[in-house]
């Protein structure tokens, strides 16, 4: 029989009533004749609460115990959905990551799925006609026998990986919006829902801040050719809409130059003033950061006119800001800079579209439009299908709306 994976995010399982609604969506697909694996997130807010508890317990908590704590949220919803399905007369059982098993690396807190053995799930389908309700976000590091988690938003990745493992016809990611939009519909009322979005664009959108899908889930969907839809759990279970299909670029007929605008407040800016303008200085700055596993994203070096000293600006993840600052202050004698200035009230706004490959000047138009609104750009990066600007966080909404209109994305 054909198989389907249905994933429900936190808002969709926020309480028992919503879980009942989810069960109706599952019932529809069971009645359509599918074998179903459901992947659930923790109830909305639960994971945040669990994370906070770890932080309150200790500033330097053991990441293996962090995973033992935060994986608990999904265990609750998996059990509850199985109970509700059984109550509706649908055979179902819950599965924890380790029971499937979903095997992962040992990078606790951001583990990667290494392998999924689908045979127990197949057996449940074949012998007991049972819906498999699988706790998302969690897995097992086999060598140590420890529970692991996949990073925030990781249930999306659980779902796509399970879909690949059981060769599902489709992976439906149900969430609180009815698809992927041209930008976050909670920020821009004129955002438009896309019927289709290319894997590469979705990958960039997710990496650049659109949290509707976890980046890794898009990578897996692309590599394993999993037909993945983003759709709403708030649709009538008897009359659902198809949502947005993530697909190959070639399968999209009407391609825009810019498909979407994303933004991320998770960056911080560091500027080193009066850096010696010598060979080797960039290495002296960036090597210690790389050794500390700190990802540097945007980099700007001003070409100096006196060839003695210059300024370098770059961004790091805001969570690593203090660590980066401490490393650079310690390395000050080797680097030889004047002062270090930092700012975390910044936002990175990005425009994404495969059409940029064949249309020059796309970014230049944005610089002009932002300047006309009085928005100062602090750093810029570009690549084949996207560009990003770093600006003051206070201008986030204005900048996103400006670019959204500029590239003709507004809903009419």
Q: Which residues bind ligand ADP (CB under 6 A)?
A: 9-12, 41, 153, 175-177, 180-181, 183-186, 205, 210-212, 260
Q: Which of 72, 65, 142, 152 is nearest to 100 (CA)?
A: 142
* Distance in Å, CB of 361 to ligand ADP, minimum: 24
Q: Which of residues 7-36 bind ligand ASP (CB under 6 A)?
A: 9-10
Q: How far is CA 118 from CA 52, 162, 332, 343, in A?
A: 34, 8, 53, 47
* Distance in Å, CB of 25 to ligand ADP, minimum: 13
If the CB atoms of residues 9 and 209 are measured against ligand ASP, the closer one turns out to be 9
Bridge-based pairing of strands 3-8 and 170-175 is: parallel
Q: List the single partner that 184 binds among ligand ASP, Mg ion, ligand ADP, none, CB under 5 to 8 Å by kind.
A: ligand ADP
Q: Quick one: angle between helices 72-87 and 46-57, nearest 10?
A: 150
Strand, coil or helix: 236? coil
Q: Quick one: which H or E segment has residue 222? A: helix 215-223
By CB under 5 A, tell whether 154 contacts Mg ion. no
Q: Are 395 and 263 in contact (CB under 8 A)?
A: no
Q: Are 147 and 68 in contact (CB under 8 A)?
A: yes
Provide the edge-to-edge strand list for the sheet that holds 228-232.
92-95, 131-135, 35-40, 3-8, 170-175, 228-232, 244-247, 196-198
By CB under 6 A, tell whether 42 contacts ligand ASP. yes
If the CB atoms of residues 42 and 258 are measured against ligand ASP, the closer one turns out to be 42
Q: List the single partner that 136 binds among ligand ASP, ligand ADP, Mg ion, none, CB under 5 to 8 Å by kind.
A: ligand ASP
By CB under 6 A, tell whether 97 contacts ligand ASP. no
* Distance in Å, CB of 328 to ligand ASP, minimum: 31
By CB under 5 A, tell whether 136 contacts Mg ion. no
Distance CA 395, CA 370 (A): 10
Phi then psi for 167, rounded to 5 degrees? 50, 55
Phi then psi for 230, rounded to 5 degrees? -110, 125
If the CB atoms of residues 190 and 211 are measured against ligand ADP, the closer one turns out to be 211
By CB under 6 A, tell whether 139 contacts ligand ASP. no
Per the document, the length of the chain is 412
118, 136, 153, 260: residue in contact with Mg ion (rule CB under 5 A):
153
Q: List the single partner that 137 binds among ligand ADP, ligand ASP, Mg ion, none, CB under 5 to 8 Å by kind.
A: ligand ASP
Within 10 Å of residue 396's Cβ, how many Cβ atoms?
18
* Distance in Å, CB of 58 to ligand ASP, minimum: 21
Stretch that binds ligand ASP, among 39-47, 101-109, 270-278, 389-397 (CB under 6 A): 39-47
DSSP state of 294: P
If the CB atoms of residues 208 and 335 are measured against Mg ion, the closer one turns out to be 208
Q: List the single partner that 11 binds among ligand ADP, ligand ASP, Mg ion, none, CB under 5 to 8 Å by kind.
A: ligand ADP
Distance CA 264, CA 397 (A): 12
User: Which residues of the chain form contacts with ligand ASP (CB under 6 A)?
Assistant: 9-10, 41-42, 47, 73, 136-137, 152-156
């Amino acid at each position: 029989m054909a198989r389907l994976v249905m994933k429900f995010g936190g808002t969709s399982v926020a309480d028992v009533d919503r879980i009942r609604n989810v069960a109706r969506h599952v019932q529809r697909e069971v009645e359509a004749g599918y074998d179903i694996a459901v992947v659930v997130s923790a109830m909305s807010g639960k994971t945040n609460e669990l994370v906070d508890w770890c932080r309150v317990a200790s500033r330097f908590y053991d990441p293996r115990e962090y995973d033992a704590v935060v994986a608990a949220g999904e265990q609750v919803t998996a059990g509850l959905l199985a109970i509700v399905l059984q109550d509706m007369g649908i055979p179902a059982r819950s599965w924890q990551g380790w029971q499937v098993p979903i095997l992962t690396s040992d990078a606790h807190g951001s583990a990667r799925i290494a392998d999924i053995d689908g045979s127990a799930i197949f057996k449940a389908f074949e012998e007991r006609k049972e819906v498999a309700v699988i706790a998302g976000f969690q897995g097992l590091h086999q060598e140590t026998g420890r529970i692991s988690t996949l990073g925030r938003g990781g249930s999306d990745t659980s779902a796509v990986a399970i879909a690949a493992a059981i060769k599902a016809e489709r992976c439906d990611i149900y969430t609180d919006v009815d698809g992927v939009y041209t930008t976050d519909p909670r920020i821009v009322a004129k955002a438009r829902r896309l019927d289709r979005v290319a894997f590469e664009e979705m990958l960039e959108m997710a990496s650049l801040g659109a949290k509707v899908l976890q980046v890794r889930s898009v990578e897996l969907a692309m590599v394993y050719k999993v037909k993945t839809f983003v759709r709403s759990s708030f649709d009538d279970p008897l009359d659902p809409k198809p949502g947005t299909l993530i697909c190959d670029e070639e399968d999209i007929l009407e391609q825009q130059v810019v498909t979407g605008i994303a933004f991320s407040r998770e960056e911080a800016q560091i500027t080193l003033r009066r850096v010696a303008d010598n060979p080797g200085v960039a290495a002296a700055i960036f090597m210690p950061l790389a050794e500390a596993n700190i990802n540097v994203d945007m980099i700007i070096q001003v070409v100096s006119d006196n060839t003695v000293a210059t300024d370098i600006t770059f961004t790091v993840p805001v969570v690593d800001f203090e660590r980066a600052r401490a490393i650079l202050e310690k390395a000050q004698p080797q680097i030889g800079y004047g002062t270090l200035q930092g700012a975390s009230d910044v936002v990175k706004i990005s425009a994404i579209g495969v059409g940029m490959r064949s249309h020059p000047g796309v970014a230049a138009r944005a610089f002009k439009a932002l300047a006309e609104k009085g928005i100062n750009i602090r750093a810029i990066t570009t690549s084949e299908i996207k560009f990003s600007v770093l600006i003051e966080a206070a201008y986030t909404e204005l900048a996103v709306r400006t670019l959204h209109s500029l590239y003709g994305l507004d809903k009419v």
